[in-house]
Structure 1
């Protein structure tokens, strides 16, 4: 999904992140809440229309979740090869548990 140059840039920026892993977990929860708010507003859920958010906003918030998660993995010294292995393992498990 992303090229090597962008991957390297994301990792470099993540390595500069000053937040502790505990603070990053809290930031992840904050971003998840913002993504949920954006999705609710985009779908005109009761009490959320005033926020004027759409699916583009939802995608941006989900991207924030992805970036915070990558930063946390970097802080936990997860190397790209290890992440690839973990992703393959989790996708396999995910597929095995889906109802088709």
Structure 2
């Protein structure tokens, strides 16, 4: 996993978009993921797009990539990302009674 994070960090540092522009890109990617999901579920007005769950997964990975790129643009280290993830997952599980 650290290899892929290193590649994402490398791409993020070369990304010309500002963090503000990347936040807009993130919104776009979330919208594309939602559209793909609606299509994959054949929700009224969206089924014609012919999307499958694999398309939803791909769009969600785009959301992850843009999110990580923003974190790296904000000088977040891998260690900070891991610590934040651990803290948030712990909190999430606690709310579920685990």
TM-score (normalizing by structure 2): 0.95
1:36 paired residue number: 34
Which of residues 79, 86, 89 is equivalent to 1:88? 86
TM superposition outliers: structure 1 runs of 4+ over 2 Å: none
Unaligned runs of 5+ residues in structure 1 are none
CA RMSD in angstroms, aligned pairs only: 1.1
Unaligned runs of 5+ residues in structure 2 are none
Looking at structure 1, the residues matched to 46 and 93 of structure 2 have their Cα atoms a distance apart, in angstroms, of 34
Looking at structure 2, the residues matched to 99 and 4 of structure 1 have their Cα atoms a distance apart, in angstroms, of 31
Which of residues 18, 23, 26 is equivalent to 2:24? 26
